[in-house]
Chains A and B, each alone.
Chain A
Amino acid sequence: MEIKRRDFLRVMGAAAAGATVGGLFRTLTPKEARAAVYATNKKRWIFLVDTHKCVGCGMCVRACKLENEVPYNDPVTRTWVERYVILKSGKAIQDTPMGGLNGYTADDPQGQKINSDDIAKAFFVPKLCNQCEKPPCVQVCPVGATFQTADGVVLVDRTWCIGCGYCIMACPYGARFFHPIYHTAEKCTFCYHRISKGLQPACVFACPFGARNIGDKKDPNDPVTKIVLTERVSVLKSEYGTSPQVFYLGLDENVR
């Protein structure tokens, strides 16, 4: 049998068009339609840090390490508290010894003795994973070992992680590290095991001053969501386009 060129092109064109249209339009089953609607009603966990209230006691860092089985005396941590001392000369001194695990008990940033009259402003900034809406750490994972849940938390699959460290390099916030025992990427989970059971994350629970708060962005009556929506909050490194979901009250230009 001989096929004419014209017939061949006609058949192939129709087949290509049919495949394209068939792929674009698909009828959802009732179950799929329901799932699509309810998926939008899920929670979206966000975090609010009020730096005015932080006193640098480091109880959050301690509670995080004990709750999440991060080796206590190793220099790695899922959350940390930075100290900023800005002098009247304009010089900014910043330090984070052991992530602030043992609190700040002396006015000696970077080991320097500071005259209190020289201090223009000084404060503490707690940091943790920003649970970005567009997490670069997840994009770079070559094996699908890190992922985002439907409620916005980025998690690590310890059995699937190959320890390549791409995600650690990709995070603009330095929130990831290698777990000293499991040798896999490790990060803050917003205490996913606690918030899924209606508890607060360990750091929020341990903070005596209310400097750390967790909320649900999809609940308009949530006190944290109300503050994020109505007050002047800022995020860290918005220029990276990661859409971080940890919001700060009282940030300073010296905080990076």
Chain B
Amino acid sequence: MSHVWKPVWVVLAIVGIILGLRFIIVPPDFGIWDRGYMYGWHRHSAELFWKDQFKVKYKGRDYCNNCHPDKVSSILASSHKNIQCEDCHGPAIDHPDNPPKLAIIKDRGLCLRCHAYLPYPTSLRSKIAGWPNPDEHNPGIACVNCHNPHSPDFSKPDLNKEVLKVKDITERYDGN
């Protein structure tokens, strides 16, 4: 064996080590998959994480209707029918197991998200009944003390018999 071949073996050994390390470090499901080299170069289990393992928190009105059909039907008969239960009651997650009780948002800020009047002509916002100066209307008192969010329309008194009782108006929802 001539000494001139020595650099060849060194190079081959380095290539072999690199390929070996690559085999160990790169996960077996790392590949190009469906979208080609430029956009699809990824670990397939990451795609499955977002698809299957990530938890659904907002369960939808049908889920609520399983146990609270009276509440669901009352809001569906009102002008608030487009608002999902979980918008105000918070995501159900695994309710009633976890959390056993949902934290309802009762502060004025929630209602004012739509019912603070804004004079915005090209937006649907200006067509919603609202207060230009909400602080002038019973400041500090929760809207739901007087207005039932499940039947907010005062022109339908028969729907307004269900008076909402709010024990603690200072209870605020922190979102967690």
A binds B: yes
**Which residue, of B49, B52, B119, B120, has the highest number of chain A Cβ atoms within 10 A?**
B120
Q: Does A150 contact B (CB under 8 A)?
A: yes
**Which residue, of A149, A197, A206, has the highest number of chain B Cβ atoms within 10 A?**
A149
Given the known inter-chain contacts A57-B114, A160-B46, please indicate yes or no for A206 contacting B30, CB distance below 8 A: no
Q: Hey, which chain A residues are within 8 Å of B34, CB to CB?
A: 39, 42, 149-150
Can you identify 14 A-B contacts, CB atoms within 8 angstroms? A42-B34, A52-B122, A52-B123, A54-B123, A56-B123, A59-B87, A72-B176, A102-B113, A105-B134, A147-B40, A155-B50, A156-B46, A157-B49, A160-B43
Q: Hey, which chain A residues are within 8 Å of B125, CB to CB?
A: 54-56, 104, 124
* Cβ contact within 8 Å between B51 and A56: no
Main secondary structure of the interface of B (DSSP, over half): mixed
CB-based A-B contact count at 8 angstroms: 167
Q: Hey, which chain B residues are within 8 Å of A39, CB to CB?
A: 34
* Cβ contact within 8 Å between A55 and B41: no
Interface residues in B85-125 by Cβ distance below 8 A to A read 86-87, 90-91, 109, 112-114, 116, 118-125
Q: Does B155 contact A (CB under 8 A)?
A: no
Q: A130 to chain B: closest CB distance in Å? A: 14
* Residues of B in contact, count (CB < 8 Å): 48
* A73 vs B175: C-alpha distance when bound (angstroms): 8
Q: Does A237 contact B (CB under 8 A)?
A: no
Q: Does A103 contact B (CB under 8 A)?
A: yes
Interface, chain A (partner B; CB < 8 A)? 39, 42, 51-59, 62-63, 65-67, 72-73, 85, 102-107, 116, 119-124, 134-135, 138-139, 144-150, 155-160, 189, 192-194, 196-197, 199, 202, 205-206, 208-210, 250
Q: Hey, which chain A residues are within 8 Å of B30, CB to CB?
A: 144
Q: Hey, which chain A residues are within 8 Å of B56, CB to CB?
A: 67, 193-194, 197, 199
* Cβ contact within 8 Å between A148 and B109: no
* Cβ contact within 8 Å between A206 and B123: no
* Cβ contact within 8 Å between B43 and A208: no
